[in-house]
Structure 1
């Protein structure tokens, strides 16, 4: 069996291939190619073909391809999605405009309200029709006016809209009207992307539900076309494997499911990195890990506690400041990466990012026409990136161009030397990232001193130790293939589907009728999950199900997720759910009121399947110190304290288990470079991951 993982970043597309032979032996081959922002599928297929050549196999031998993509996210950020129409309940046309009447910046007089200034659906394309469903039972008070729906669809067709979303009040209690309207629109507009809010996210809160459905329709046509292009290009290249797409919740789905519900792909790219980070942490015996994936454009930060994937609270699940009520791994992205541009602003301040040179033209040192200095250029000027070692020599970099860019745009305007300016660039960008890590740890009551900092992405290990020192992390981990960790994370994922149903119930009331209804809802959700897994071709013996209850105190604004025990839903089950809620509330907020009533808001069932996981071979035992067999040469290198030292380079592929490299040193490989400053040591783990600590701790 041959499996391939492909992760598309802003600058590079990362690939990993795992081949399992008849004797059970595994071989892993990695590769990295420039991304193609105009059409990511071009870079993906080019990379797959080149990877197959490196592995000595035919593209047709690939059995499975797993893909993480930023297509959906880019559509929202760049605001180049579909022209969408909306059919909604009469009187509620402006829900998407009003939102929750919240000010994005409470004390700003010039704040921007993104859902008003750049709405996903223009007001003229939001048509209200006659219908009404009433709580709490979902009874039909006013039948749907079918003729009004048809007229709205005909108007959308004349306007040439690409997508239509149907969102009616209280459809999470009864979706009859939404499904009726959807069929009418499909008949009138057979080529349009059409979705109902109850199909996208079947939960309460009309603004968030409408916004999520609108987002799904906004990115739907473009995402579906991308996935179709990807499949077509793969077939043309001879790849006939089944394709799975990474989702925001850390699971994978089919191309068909991703095309129907692309809103689940909004964190597809960064999610693979967190999955890879957790897997690497397990290999290093570390369950408390802060991951930071530093690529060319952004740095993605997540905190893994006790080996558990962090899932965002529903109040925080947003993209481009718009609420999206789908499960997402808790990831915070900032505009800081190897391509972040350094500049002097109009007020004379020295700044770095968030603007990036991206893949085209890239940093000045790439020689592709870029003239502005970037973080990568600063690394080159300081001697941390060697021209002949960058990407294994596949991409030539020019130190002269890097120096010229920094001199022209930073050093000369500030009246300082080029090297001092380069150090300033790194200190600024490292400070940005350290502050972001603190926001995701210390600000949430998490002490980073008990965590390992795992720095990956092409630029991660270049910054890892500096960031680890800034946050006082226990140690710093450089994965075996840092630049490919997100792609490797794709090969340790599993199918994951979540099905929801809203229900309002007070747990302490212990009403047998309500408890019985909750049990029946969970049974129905399980049947839906089974149907989805069966359609994916997953063997029944591999099915796994988890029941989740989203609860809050009565009158509280948002819910917390707790796991529900298997079996019939009884009074004891309700008591266990309440106790789990108290414990989660105390963990999140530092307190819990166990004498207060707990309200159950949403039932959620997660269907997953056991899947093969990536297995790296165990390295031969080394136990050497600064092994001469892995040494390459020495070159002057400037470290964060400003000292320039003759620093040896070590080839990572020649390091063995338990080898120790003493700083100052630089460990080079095809997809990344790991810096070991003076007074630090790097210890090689049994599968090739490197743990960097202060020398006194070894």
Structure 2
């Protein structure tokens, strides 16, 4: 079996190859520059190159697992499709009004994105006479077919890329939406068409309409990208199955991802969190705060007890637009190796969120960049050796880094270049620490009981400083920090989620209501089973989790509660209530166990077990500062501003239980691990590194 994981970042594309056969196992990692104009170019080039490094032909690849930022970038850059919309008459402006709430109530300057940059322009939102009525979805006013046909002809004349159909209460009855879809498809055969009941079949018309609009906005280009990727792979002799990482931490097919690209909006960061959980399991660490620091952004998540956190539906948004799809709880900020340091118009010293990206990149890359970045600061301080970056594949120019910091920061503030470089790192580290606390402390997580796992190319350079700022108990640097997100792609599961809206008081269910709920769950599981049939997943590899999304009667938003595997009955419904109370207490700090609970949505999460990446155990070393791994010593400046002669160790030559006492740098192709003075690094069984405070020497004050 030969599998490849590919994760596309803003600066680099990371690739991992695993080959398992009768002769044993081989794991190879690689990095290539990203190609923002067309990510598929960098993806395919990276796969072909890593096959060469592994000594295999591209045609031998059996599966490609891919994490992509194509969908997310479209939303951020607002360069998606021109979308049309058919909606219930009287509700044309739902997408404009939203919830009548401003993200910042007292800011007169804040831009309201759903009004200033709408996913569907008002002139393309066409009202249609029809009306369904709750609670059954009964047809009150029949669909005006002549209006649908006229609207379809008008949208076709405008040559729109995509059209959505979003009618009121279609989550109860999708008959009108499906009829309108058929008429649109006949008039606009080349358009990307989707209905709200297909994309997100749940209540709340604004969020449902917005999610459907988002799906259509990113749909045409995402489908084009995925099809182009498959075509490039075929042209390169790679006929492997392609699987795409989703926002919920599962993988999906190209066909499913093209139809529902809204599920890919956190595709890139999700792989890193999955890889972080897998590394935590390998290092016997269940409580982990992950921070994936690449060239452009830092992605933060919390893994508690080995479990991923899924965002509450009220928080699932992208670029301030609600997206009602399950997402791993990840916060992203503009902080990475390429983050640019500058003085704002008021003279304040700032770093990020603007990034030098892959092109031109930091000044030290020598590709024309002149503004100072975090990477330039690391070079000036001696924490990145110019000849060791990417294993020597990319030579850095320290003089260019010093010139950029001196010109743009040091001279303007009257500081030495070294102090300016330290200032860049101090600012970016504090920005990241505030974001980590917002994702942990603000949500009831005490970082003192958690390991901070820093990965991405820049993660292990910042991890110790961040651990000090948030008071984490220790630090773990994965075996291949710069490739962790790509490795996460090889340890995730095939995953689909299916929903049905219901509005039922849990403690007032009778036999008829129990029968209706169980029938809905069976229908959802049948949908999942049909998808697995299309994917060729055998029965014993399939797993189904049943979830009731509940709230107190009158509460605004719901939380996920686990349901029994067997049918819901009067004898076991209290297990659902107990699960809801526990989740509510964890999220809000309290639970009212005497109050009535309402089930809002039934959800089935269908997963399929796939082959998972396995790393071999390292031979045991047990050495301290082993000479066999030592490369050389070089002056390095740490946070106290003092220059120290610091040894460099080659990570590939470290063995299990080896100990490196700081100060030290541990170099490898895809990252550099910084071990500051007063710390010690211990190599774990698979090659991950745990960094803790070194015990004080006897007699030390």
TM-score bracket for this pair, using the shorter chain length: over 0.9
Counterpart position of 1:696: 695
Q: Distance in 1 between matches of 2:109 and 2:595?
A: 41
What is the match of residue 602 of structure 1?
Answer: 601
Distance 1:696 1:262 in 2: 51
Corresponding residue for residue 585 of structure 1: 584
Is the 1:104–1:112 Cα contact (8 Å) retained in structure 2?
A: no
SS, match of residue 17 in structure 2 = strand
Shift of 1:421: 0.4
Distance 1:389 1:177 in 2: 62
Contact kept in structure 2, 1:245 and 1:252, CA below 8 Å:
yes
Taking the aligned partners of 2:645 and 2:379, their CA distance within structure 1 comes to: 15
Alignment of 1:665-680 (within 5 A): 665-680=664-679
Distance 1:301 1:59 in 2: 34
Does residue 514 of the first structure (1) align with residue 513 of the second (2)? yes
Aligned to 2:403: 404
Structure 2 alignment gaps of length 5 or more: none
Match of 1:90 in 2: 89
Q: What's 1:13 paired with?
A: 13
Show the 5 A alignment for 1:348-359. Answer: 348-359=347-358
The reply to whether residue 72 of structure 1 matches residue 71 of structure 2 is: yes
Contact residue 526 and residue 605 of structure 1 kept, 8 A: yes
SS at match of 2:75: helix
Distance 1:560 1:696 in 2: 44
Deviation at 1:248, TM superposition (A): 0.2
Q: Deviations over 1:309-333 (max 9, x none)?
A: 1100000000000000000000000
CA contact under 8 A between 1:287 and 1:304: conserved in structure 2? yes
**Count of matched residue pairs:** 697
What do the CA deviations read for 1:4-36 (whole angstroms, capped 9, x no partner)?
Answer: 00000000000000000224x211000000000
Paired with 1:616 and 1:147, the residues of 2 have a C-alpha distance of 62
- Distance of 2:411 and 2:551 partners within structure 1: 57
Instruction: Report matched runs for 1:541-560 at 5 Å.
Output: 541-560=540-559
Secondary structure of the 2:275 match is helix
Partners of 2:596 and 2:134 in 1: CA distance? 21
Rounded to whole Å, the distance in 1 between the matches of 2:298 and 2:585 is 30
Q: Which residue is equivalent to 1:338?
A: 337
Cα distance in 1 for partners of 2:589, 2:521 equals 31
CA distance in 2, matches of 1:369, 1:428: 25
Please name the residue that 2:116 is paired with: 117
> Pairwise mapping of residues 64-213 of structure 1 onto structure 2 (< 5 A)?
64-213=63-212
For 1:542-567, what per-residue CA distance to the aligned partner results, in whole angstroms no more than 9, with x for missing partners?
00000010000001000000110111
Q: Distance in 2 between matches of 1:198 and 1:572?
A: 33
Q: Which runs of 5+ in 1 are unaligned?
A: none
Report the Cα offset of residue 572 of structure 1: 2.5
Counterpart for residue 239 of structure 1: 238
Contact 1:11–1:34 (8 Å) recurs in 2: yes
Whole-angstrom distance in 2 between the partners of 1:573 and 1:66: 40
Give the Cα separation in 2 of the matches to 1:547 and 1:220.
29
Give the whole-Å Cα distance in 1 for the aligned partners of 2:518 and 2:686.
45
**1:573 offset after TM fit, Å?**
2.6
User: Residues 187-586 of structure 1 correspond to what in structure 2 (within 5 A)?
Assistant: 187-586=186-585
1:106 deviates by: 1.3
CA distance in 2, matches of 1:697, 1:292: 29
CA distance in 2, matches of 1:260, 1:6: 21
Query: Counterparts of 2:571 and 2:639 in 1: how far apart (Å)?
Result: 58
Match of 1:410, SS state, is helix
Q: Distance in 2 between matches of 1:55 and 1:521?
A: 49
The 2-side partners of 1:123 and 1:108 are apart by 25
Residue deviations 1:414-448 (CA, integer Å, cap 9, x gap)? 01011110000000000000010011111111100
Deviation at 1:300, TM superposition (A): 0.2
CA distance in 2, matches of 1:110, 1:2: 53
| Alpha-carbon distance between aligned partners in 2 of 1:9 and 1:275, rounded to the nearest angstrom | 16
Q: How far apart, in 1, do the equivalents of 2:696 and 2:674 lie?
A: 18
The equivalent residue for 2:663 is 664
The residue number in structure 2 matching 1:651 is 650
SS of residue in 1 equivalent to 2:571? helix
User: SS in structure 2 opposite 1:218?
Assistant: helix
Q: 1:503-539 CA deviation, whole Å, 9 max, x = no partner? A: 0000111311111100000000000000011111111
CA distance in 2, matches of 1:571, 1:591: 26
Q: TM-score, normalised by structure 2?
A: 0.99
The secondary structure found in structure 1 opposite 2:45 is helix
Q: CA deviation at 1:109?
A: 2.0
CA separation in 2, counterparts of 1:616 and 1:222?
Answer: 36
CA contact (8 A) 1:3 1:18 kept: yes
Structure 2: how far apart are the matches of 1:572 and 1:297? Answer: 53
Question: Contact conserved, 1:564 with 1:573, CA < 8 A, in 2?
Answer: no
What secondary structure, in the 3-state scheme, does the structure 2 residue paired with 1:152 have?
helix
Compared CA separation, residues 597 and 697, structure 1 to 2 (3 A)? farther
Aligned residue in 2 for 1:685: 684
1:656/1:684 contact within 8 Å kept? yes
Q: In the TM superposition, what is the alpha-carbon distance from 1:126 to its structure 2 partner?
A: 0.1
Larger deviation, residues 345-354 vs 100-109: 100-109
C-alpha separation in 2, matches of 1:66 and 1:626: 38
Segments ≥4 residues shifted beyond 6 Å: none
Matches of 2:380 and 2:107, distance apart in 1 = 41
Quote how far apart the aligned CAs of 1:108 are. Answer: 1.3
- CA shift, 1:697, in A, is 9.0
The whole-number CA distance in structure 2 between the counterparts of 1:30 and 1:110 is 47
Conserved? CA contact 1:162–1:221, under 8 Å: yes
